Structure 1
Amino acid sequence: MTESLNPERMACWRAYIESSQRLFTQLEEDLRADSELSFADYHVLVLLSEAPGQRLRMGELASRLVFSPSRLTYQISSMQKRGLVAKESCPADRRGSEAVLTAAGLLTLREAAPHHVASVRTHLMDDLDDAEVACLTRVFERLGRRLRAARDASSAPADN
C-alpha cells in the first residue's frame, strides 16, 4: 500500500489543486470575455506565432499542447471555421499535416494578448515576489521535464 501524504504535503497538494483550478477558470473567463477565445485557442495561437514560418506539424502541436490527436483535430477544425488557422500538407512530407497561423489568427492574438497578460498579472504575478517567481519556475520546469521524460519513455517502442 502506498504511504499517505503527511499533513504538510496534503495541505500543499490541496492548495495547489484548488488554487490552480480557480486560476485557470478565472484566466479562461477573462479570455472569453475580452476576446471570445478559449484558453486552448489562445495557446494554439501563441505556439503557432512563435514557430518558424508560423506553422507546426500536427503531432508536434499535439505534444506541446498535451492534447490527444483527436482533441487536436477537433480544436484545429473549430479554429479553422473561425479563420484563425489553416491546415495544410507538410511540404517536407506530404503524408503529414501542419497547422498554420492565418493573418486573422495573428491579429486576434495581438488583440487578445494585452488583456490576457493583464489578467495573468492581476490574478497571479503581481502577488508574487521575485524569490517566489524563481522558486515556482524551478519547481514547474523540473516537474515538466520529469513528466515529459516519463511520457516519452512510456510511448517509446520497446527494444526487441
Structure 2
Amino acid sequence: MTDAGQEPRWLDQDEMRAWRNYVTAAAMLEDRLHRELQTGHGLSLADYELMVRLSEQPGCSMRMSQLADDVASSKSRVSHQVARMEREGLLHRRECDQDGRGVLAELTDRGLQALKTAAPTHVNGVRDHMIDLLTAEEQEVLAKVFDRVKAHLRSLDG
C-alpha cells in the first residue's frame, strides 16, 4: 500500500497487459458460462455455484455464513439469493440443529436434479472456454497464482 501523498507504483506495459487481459477475459468467461447455464437450464452462474457448494456437503446443507464465505459474497447478497432460490423450490432454509441460532441452506431434491441436469453444460463450458486451452503446467501456475491472491485478500478481511 502507498501513503496518501506518495506516488503509486504505476504498472509497466507488461504488467498492464497482464492486468487488462485478466479483467477482460474473466468478465467474458463469467458472462459466457452464465449465458450457457441461463439459456440451457434457466439458472444463473451464481445460483449454480451455490448449488454446487451445497451438493458437496453432508446432507447437501451448510450454514448460510459459510456459504457466503465459500462463494466470496456478502451474507446479505447470499441471503437474498437463497430466498429467491427457495421460492423457486431449489433450496430451503432451516434452523441449525446444533445451536438454534444459525441458519442452514439446504439443497432440495428439485435443486439437486436441476444441478445434475446443468452440470454437464457447465463443465463443458469450463473445459471449452478455459481448461482445454491451457497446458497442465499453465493450469498449475494459474491455480497457485489465484491461491496466493485469494489468501492475501482473505487475510485483509481478518
**What corresponds to 2:76 in structure 1?**
70
Deviation digits for residues 60-103 of structure 1 (CA, Å, limit 9, x no counterpart): 11111122122111100110011110000000111221101111
| CA distance, structure 2, for counterparts of residue 140 and residue 44 of structure 1 | 20
Shift of 1:54: 1.1
**What corresponds to 2:47 in structure 1?**
41
| CA distance, structure 1, for counterparts of residue 40 and residue 142 of structure 2 | 27
Q: TM-score, normalised by structure 1?
A: 0.92
**What corresponds to 1:111 in structure 2?**
117
| CA distance, structure 1, for counterparts of residue 78 and residue 27 of structure 2 | 22
Structure 1: which amino acid aligns with 2:20? Answer: R
Task: List, as ranges, runs of 4+ consecutive aligned residues in structure 1 with deviation greater than 4 Å.
Answer: none
| CA distance, structure 2, for counterparts of residue 36 and residue 73 of structure 1 | 20
Structure 2: which amino acid aligns with 1:22? Answer: M
1:30 aligned counterpart, secondary structure = helix
1:141 aligned counterpart, secondary structure = helix
Query: How many residues align structurally?
Result: 152
Structure 2: which amino acid aligns with 1:56? Answer: M
**What corresponds to 1:29 in structure 2?**
35
Q: TM-score, normalised by structure 2?
A: 0.93
Shift of 1:3: 1.6
Structure 2, gaps ≥5 residues long:
1-6
1:120 maps to 2:126: yes
Shift of 1:4: 0.5
Where do 1:1-160 residues align within 5 Å? 1-151=7-157, 153=158
Shift of 1:5: 0.7
